[in-house]
Amino acid sequence: MKSTNEEKKLNPFLWFLFVIVIPLAAVLVLTVIILTVSGIDVFGWAKEKGADIPVLSNVITTEEDKEQQRTNEKMQQRITTKNEEITSLNQEIRDLEATVDKMEQEIVQLENEQASAEEAEEDEQQAANESVTEMASSFSDMDNERAAQIVQSLEENLAVSILENVPSDVRGEIFEEMEPDYAAELTQLFVGNEE
């Protein structure tokens, strides 16, 4: 009795499947084939119409959607490339700033070295000036003929420096005792230094 009931229950399902579903599918396939052969884009039309149906529009992808997706991928790739460039340029900026800092430190160090070298040179110059001043005072006390002989045997620059620090009247007396040509030469150098 059970098997008869089951057969009766299966029969309406089988009847529906064989009578309605299979023939309808066969007609649909034949229609699509005939329309495609005759030059009508059945699948394009179906996509276009399916995109307007709310549930089906999420499943069907149109050419516009594919193009939009390709554009998005290209833009994302460009953004990634630009971000890599920005990172590279920021690293280059940091490297250049480090180089600038290093060079500024070197400049400060060189300025300090230059200042100490100038100080040392000034100290040497001051010491030389003090020596020249002391020598000049000793020439003031010396016999003019002897002073003239000593000045003539010195280098010209040193002789001029000493004569600059000797009082004018003593200087004139020393020039008097010198050979005239040498006295003229020293006078020219002496006048040139004062200008």
The string of pLDDT tens digits covering residues 1-38 is 555 555 555 677 777 878 888 889 999 899 888 888 88
Banded model confidence at residue 98, pLDDT cuts 50, 70, 90:
very high
**CB contact set of 178 (below 8 Å; sequence gap of 6+):** 148, 151, 152, 186
Average pLDDT for residues 163-188, to the nearest whole number?
79
The string of pLDDT tens digits covering residues 36-95 is 888 888 877 777 776 677 766 666 666 676 788 889 899 999 999 999 999 999 999 999
Percentage of residues in the chain having pLDDT higher than 70: 85
Identify the residue with better confidence: 93 or 179. Answer: 93
- Cα 78 to Cα 70, 71, 83, 91, 172, distances in angstroms: 12, 10, 8, 20, 90
CA–CA gap between residue 90 and residue 79 (Å, rounded): 16
Residues 21-44 as b/e (b if ≥16 CB within 10 A, e otherwise) read eeeeeeeeeeeeeeeeeeeeeeee
pLDDT of res. 84: 93
Q: Could you tell me if 32 and 42 are in contact, meaning their C-beta atoms sit under 8 angstroms apart?
A: yes
Average pLDDT for residues 95-114, to the nearest whole number?
93
Nearest to 164 by CA among 143, 193, 184, 138: 193
CA–CA gap between residue 38 and residue 47 (Å, rounded): 19
Task: Tell me the one-letter amino acid at 150.
Answer: I
Per-residue tokens: 67: 């193009």
Identify the residue with better confidence: 96 or 183. Answer: 96
Alpha helix locations (H) across the chain?
2-16, 22-37, 42-50, 54-59, 63-141, 144-153, 156-164, 168-177, 180-194
